[in-house]
């Protein structure tokens, strides 16, 4: 079990790295999930008349409509940055559809790529080609600021009550990788986080992205902070976010990989992370 914990704690894996940037005088960690040791040649997309990225409007902060009804979000800006890096911005389009319509649209040829959080699993891998993951969801512990838990947190949970949402992937992950914790389940994350804020439990374990927004919300009341981690697991949390293309268009997936590697190397991926995640989930 100890070996399993060490595996999941490893955030980035071989060939990857982390970056940091200064925000308000403080260093903010941002991840890099791209292997910078890869040697990917710049693709030639001159023969393509247009490249249409399909997304949705109901998945903030990745893709959503702003207060003026404009399509925006991390995925939207990433698609634009990819097109800029590939020198095809004038031929790029980003179209929003209901999520249920995105896969049929790509299959019919009404788009060239999906940038909307389509899960990678055996079914979708048989239907599409994918770029390398550009984002992975971390699991995080949240604790009260006046009751911190020191690192390594896995060694400090034997006498701690940890809240988790019943039946969630994080509940399964908590049981598998942190078996010494005293688990308190809640029917939903809102009840669990209220208990966390009110000091009824020692920690809460859940999705780092949603927790990063909760931490700066009025509901949190500046009570809490991340502790330990981040923790990743393909088994429990999936392989992350990638861009999907039709199976016979692997060249476009390779082009996306090239562009994202360039964005990481130039620091533009870090800029995007900090734009949409002011409290880093990592």
pTM of structure: 0.81
Whole-number Å distance between alpha carbons of 207 and 205: 7
Per-residue model confidence (pLDDT) at position 281? 86
Per-residue model confidence (pLDDT) at position 35? 61
CA dist 137 → 105, 242, 249, 255 (Å): 26, 12, 27, 24
Task: Categorize the per-residue pLDDT at 96 as very low, low, confident or very high, splitting at 50, 70 and 90.
Answer: very high
CA dist 83 → 104, 251, 281 (Å): 23, 15, 26
Contact 229, 281 (CB under 8 A): no
Q: What is the mean pLDDT of residues 257-275?
A: 90
Per-residue model confidence (pLDDT) at position 280? 84
Domains detected in the chain: 43-136+239-276 (3.40.190.10), 139-236 (3.40.190.10)
Per-residue model confidence (pLDDT) at position 26? 44
Q: Give the model confidence (pLDDT) of 174-202 as tens digits.
A: 999 999 999 999 999 999 999 999 999 99
Considering only residues 22 and 107, tell me which one the structure prediction assigns the higher pLDDT.
107
Considering only residues 130 and 265, tell me which one the structure prediction assigns the higher pLDDT.
130
Q: Give the model confidence (pLDDT) of 210-236 as tens digits.
A: 999 999 999 999 999 999 989 999 999
Sheet harboring 71-72: ordered strands across?
A: 58-59, 63-65, 71-72
Q: Give the model confidence (pLDDT) of 119-169 as tens digits.
A: 888 889 999 999 999 999 999 999 999 999 999 999 999 989 999 999 999
Per-residue model confidence (pLDDT) at position 33? 63
Would you say residue 171 has pLDDT above 70? yes
Q: What is the mean pLDDT of the chain?
A: 86
Task: Categorize the per-residue pLDDT at 277 as very low, low, confident or very high, splitting at 50, 70 and 90.
Answer: confident
Phi, psi of 13 (to 5 degrees): 85, 175
Per-residue model confidence (pLDDT) at position 54? 97
Considering only residues 36 and 259, tell me which one the structure prediction assigns the higher pLDDT.
259
**Which residues does residue 267 pair with via DSSP β-bridges, in sequence order?**
none
Q: Give the model confidence (pLDDT) of 25-83 as tens digits.
A: 444 455 666 665 666 678 888 888 999 999 999 999 999 999 999 999 999 999 999 99
Would you say residue 4 has pLDDT above 70? no
Q: What is the mean pLDDT of residues 82-87?
A: 95
**Residue of 6, 41, 110, 29 whose CA lies nearest to 281:** 29
């Amino acid at each position: 079990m100890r070996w399993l914990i060490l595996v999941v704690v490893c955030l980035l894996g071989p060939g990857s790295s982390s970056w940091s940037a200064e925000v308000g005088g403080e260093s903010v960690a941002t991840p890099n999930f791209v292997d910078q040791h890869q040697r990917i040649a710049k693709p030639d997309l001159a023969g393509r008349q247009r490249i249409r990225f399909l997304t949705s409007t109901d998945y903030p902060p990745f893709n959503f409509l702003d207060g003026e009804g404009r399509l925006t979000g991390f995925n939207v800006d990433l698609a634009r940055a990819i097109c800029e890096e590939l020198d095809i911005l004038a031929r790029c389009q980003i179209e929003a559809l209901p999520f249920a319509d995105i896969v049929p649209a790509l299959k019919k040829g009404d788009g060239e790529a999906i940038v909307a959080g389509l899960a990678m699993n055996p079914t979708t891998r048989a239907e599409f080609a994918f770029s390398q993951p550009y984002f992975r969801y971390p699991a995080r512990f949240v604790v009260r600021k006046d009751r911190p838990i020191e690192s390594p947190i896995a060694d400090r949970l034997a006498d701690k009550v940890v809240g988790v949402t019943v039946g969630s992937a994080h509940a399964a992950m908590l049981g598998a990788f942190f078996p010494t914790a005293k688990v308190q389940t809640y029917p939903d994350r809102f009840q669990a986080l209220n208990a966390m804020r009110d000091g009824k439990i020692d920690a809460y374990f859940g999705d780092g992205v949603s927790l990063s927004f909760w931490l700066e919300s009025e509901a949190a009341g500046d009570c809490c902070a991340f502790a330990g981690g981040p923790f990743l697991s393909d088994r429990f949390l999936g392989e992350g976010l990638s861009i999907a293309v039709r199976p016979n268009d692997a060249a476009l997936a390779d082009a996306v990989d090239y562009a994202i590697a360039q964005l990481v190397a130039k620091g533009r991926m870090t800029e995007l992370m900090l734009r949409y995640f002011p409290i880093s989930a990592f």
